[in-house]
Structure 1
C-alpha cells in the first residue's frame, strides 16, 4: 500500500535508496493528477521513532529532486510535497499494524471478507495464515468478533483520530523535548516542504 499504481512503484524504487541514505523510510508515495500540474506526495519518517522534522523533510526533498531530475520519470510539470505521515497516519506496511495495535483504524479491502470490504475498529496486531502470509487483526466496532484480513488484500488503511492517538503524539513530543503546540498537530501544513518542478526549466 505504499504505492497505488505502477508509476508510484517506479518512484518508490528510485527514492527508497535516497531516503535510506538519510536515515529515513518512505511511508507512502502518491502521484496525483491535476488540471494544471501533477502532485507527487511523499510521506517519510525516521524508523527509530516514526517521526520526521521539517529540516529532514527539506533535506529529503532536495535529495529526491536530484534523483528525479536525472531519471525524469514524470512527464510534465509537477509539485513535490514531502511530509510526515501525520497523527492520523495511513498504515501502509505490516510493521504499522503492530506499532499501532490498540488504536482505532479504518480498513478497506479489494474484495469481500466475511461479507464486507470496509472495517472499523481497534487494531489487534498481526497474525499469519497457513501459508505464513500476514493477516491484519481488527476488533470490530460493536461486535465481539475479531476480523482477520490478508494484508495483501488491503487497498486503504488509516488511523482514526482519537484522544488516545493525540495523547500518544503529545507524549512523543515531550520525550523529544519539543514544545506543546495545540494549533499545529503532526499533520499540519507547516510540517511539509514543497518544490515545483518544470521539465522545461530543468532541461534549459
Structure 2
C-alpha cells in the first residue's frame, strides 16, 4: 500500500514541480507513532524557500483530494531535502561530484559497508569515492547496484 501511495504521489507531484522549475527529490509515506506523514522533498539550484514549498503543497493537496488514495488521516509535508540530501538517482551522484557523502552498501566492499568520502566520479554505473584513512587517501569504487542508501554529508573543518 505504501509503495502505491508513493508512486501515485510522485505521478501527481512531478508535473507541478516541473511547472515551477523545481526538482522532485523524494517522496515517502511513513507512520510515526499514531500519525501518518506524506513527505515530499523538492529542490532547485540555490535551494527552495517556504513559498516554493507552500505552492507545491497547495497544488498537490488539491490533486490528492481528487484521487483520495490514502484511507487514514495524514499530514502532507513539502520541504527542502536539507543539507544531508538523499542521493538516490544516478543523476544525483553525477550532479554532486566533488561533494562529501555517506554511502552504505548492501554487501561489504574492501571489508566495509559504510563509507564517508568525496564523490570523485560517477561513470559506467560506478561511484568512485575518495576516502581518508588517518592521513592517507584511498579510492573506493562502488557499483550503483550495491548502494543501499546514500546522502550528502556535512563536514566540519
- Aligned partner of 2:149 among 141, 156, 160: 156
Paired with 2:38 and 2:142, the residues of 1 have a C-alpha distance of 29
Structure 1: stretches of 5+ with no match in the other structure? 129-133, 165-204
* RMSD between aligned residues: 2.2
> What corresponds to 1:28 in structure 2?
26
TM-score, structure 1 as length reference: 0.67
Q: Partner of 1:145: helix, strand, or coil?
A: strand
What is the correspondence of 1:69-88 to structure 2 with a 5 Å cutoff?
69-88=65-84
Structure 1 or 2: larger strand share? 2
Give distance in 1, aligned partners of 2:4 and 2:116.
Answer: 28
Q: SS where residue 102 of structure 1 aligns?
A: coil
**Structure 2 gap ranges (5+):** none
Retained in 2: the 8 A contact 1:37–1:76? no
The residue number in structure 1 matching 2:12 is 14
Structure 1, 104-113 or 76-85: larger mean CA deviation: 104-113
- 1:91-127 Cα offsets, whole Å, 9 max, x none, are 2222322332222211112233343322111111212
**Of the two structures, which has the highest relative contact order with CA contacts closer than 8 Å and spacing of 6 or more?**
1
Q: How far apart in 1 are the matches of 2:4 and 2:46?
A: 26
How many Å apart are 1:163 and its aligned residue?
Answer: 4.8
What's 1:135 paired with? Answer: 126
Asked whether 1:108 is paired with 2:104, we answer yes
Query: Displacement, 1:141?
Result: 2.5
How many equivalent pairs are there?
A: 154
Task: Indicate how the Cα distance of structure 1 residues 59 and 127 shifts in structure 2: closer, same or farther if over 3 A, else same.
Answer: same
TM-score, with length taken from structure 2: 0.84
